[in-house]
Structure 1
């Protein structure tokens, strides 16, 4: 009887100890997995050039030579991924129209591709750095060959071989992509041994100055008045001569 009681007490003690151990078990910690960072928004260069304005000829050449793929890949390679961005110098349609068509149509496929690669640098350059680049006189490396940046009277220029282009405007400039408009096609001597025939850039007509039209009107009127006076004088003189002749003839007849 005593043995049964001892076994029962032991069983109860074990049950109590096991319940206490379960109640003191460490709480389960749940770790939340952070949501993946959103993918960076890439600039579609073909769409940008298509919508931005007069860059259809440049875009056609980029597409024809597959250089647009090289540029787009560089644009997508952000700094977070170890890239340096891209700076595209886009000649306007008028710039291509000014170049002798034979100079471009006679280029081999490889030379035409190199010419397009020559219009972008594999690095992002904001407008703020161009003055420093010009002052340093350090050539800027493009995807093919290099160019020199100039800064005269606050106007940025890009010089390459036979061409001295002006930076007309900033089409797009947000890291890691910059696109700038040029008024000339860059013509490196590595591609063009002799200078291609290029039409001069048309000089824009000066804007009208307020008051000039009003100033010109009185001058024109003064000329008209002077002309009117001169005409009246000639008519009066003719009449006097005619009267004198009539009097002379009358005297002779008498």
Structure 2
């Protein structure tokens, strides 16, 4: 009997262990999947594009088609570099009086060839004002007008206006604005039909001295006395002949 009880108890123990092992452990809570970090857009201020560079004056003149001689001189003297520097360093702008090829062809032969390099630079600078001028701005200018060559007595320039024209006078050249080639509130280019000649670089030819009026030759006193004596002698001879003739006829 004890043997059966022991066997039954052992069976119950085995069944209990088997039941315990077959039970799965408590499920651990499932972790939520990690969320990817959100990339929020930065709130940096929007940077504006850099301002455009100054206009290419040479290309504008070449595109216009009849300023070849003027462009050639600007490039040969490197005045184009000065124009770029002027536009980059100042907000005043520039105004250019551009003579046409026909204007250069009307110059006296060899006029520009007589200038040295420094004078050629000054000659071109005389055609450029260091500020932007619209056609209406010419009405408020004070004379003499400042150019890149200066405003002293060596490079005088006066500008006058009427209802329909703008006239430039250098003392040697007088011309009017013929056309507006380009304007953009910073650069103004105006066509002129004559080359602007400053007196300092192109002095007018010296006028010949006026001829003295012809003077009567002066007769020396001794000669005039001799002539007077001869005249008195001749009159005495004539008078004597007359008297003799009259006496003969009276006899």
Fold shared per TM-score above 0.5: yes
Q: Mind listing any 5+ residue stretches in structure 1 that lack a counterpart?
A: 1-27, 197-254
Is 1:184 paired with 2:159?
A: no
Q: For the residues of structure 1 that align with 2:145 and 2:135, how far apart are their CA atoms?
A: 14
Shift of 1:41: 4.4
**1:57–1:35 distance in 2 versus 1, CA, 3 Å:** same
Is 1:151 paired with 2:150?
A: no
Q: Mind listing any 5+ residue stretches in structure 2 that lack a counterpart?
A: 1-39, 152-156, 207-251
Question: Residues 142-198 of structure 1, C-alpha deviation per residue, up to 9 Å, x if partnerless?
Answer: 0003421122452111111311121100001111100000111110112112269xx
Q: For the residues of structure 1 that align with 2:95 and 2:150, how far apart are their CA atoms?
A: 14
1:62 matched to which residue of 2? 74
Q: For the residues of structure 1 that align with 2:92 and 2:149, how far apart are their CA atoms?
A: 16
Q: For the residues of structure 2 that align with 1:163 and 1:171, how far apart are their CA atoms?
A: 21
2:48 matched to which residue of 1? 36
Q: For the residues of structure 1 that align with 2:41 and 2:50, how far apart are their CA atoms?
A: 27
Rg larger for = 2
Matched residue SS, 2:158: strand
1:25 matched to which residue of 2? none
165, 174, 195: which one pairs with 1:164? 174
Q: For the residues of structure 1 that align with 2:42 and 2:121, how far apart are their CA atoms?
A: 57
More helix by share: 1
TM-score (norm: length of structure 2)? 0.60
| Contact 1:162/1:195 (<8 A) preserved | no
Q: What's the C-alpha RMSD, in Å, of the aligned pairs?
A: 2.1
Shift of 1:36: 3.5
Is 1:72 paired with 2:77?
A: no
Q: For the residues of structure 2 that align with 1:83 and 1:194, how far apart are their CA atoms?
A: 38
Matched residue SS, 1:102: coil
TM-score (norm: length of structure 1)? 0.59
1:110 matched to which residue of 2? 118
Shift of 1:34: 2.3
**1:38–1:100 distance in 2 versus 1, CA, 3 Å:** same
Q: How many residues align?
A: 162
Is 1:141 paired with 2:182?
A: no
Shift of 1:54: 0.8
| Contact 1:161/1:186 (<8 A) preserved | no
Question: Residues 38-82 of structure 1, C-alpha deviation per residue, up to 9 Å, x if partnerless?
Answer: 3224211110000012100000011111111111222344xxxx5
Q: For the residues of structure 2 that align with 1:29 and 1:182, how far apart are their CA atoms?
A: 57
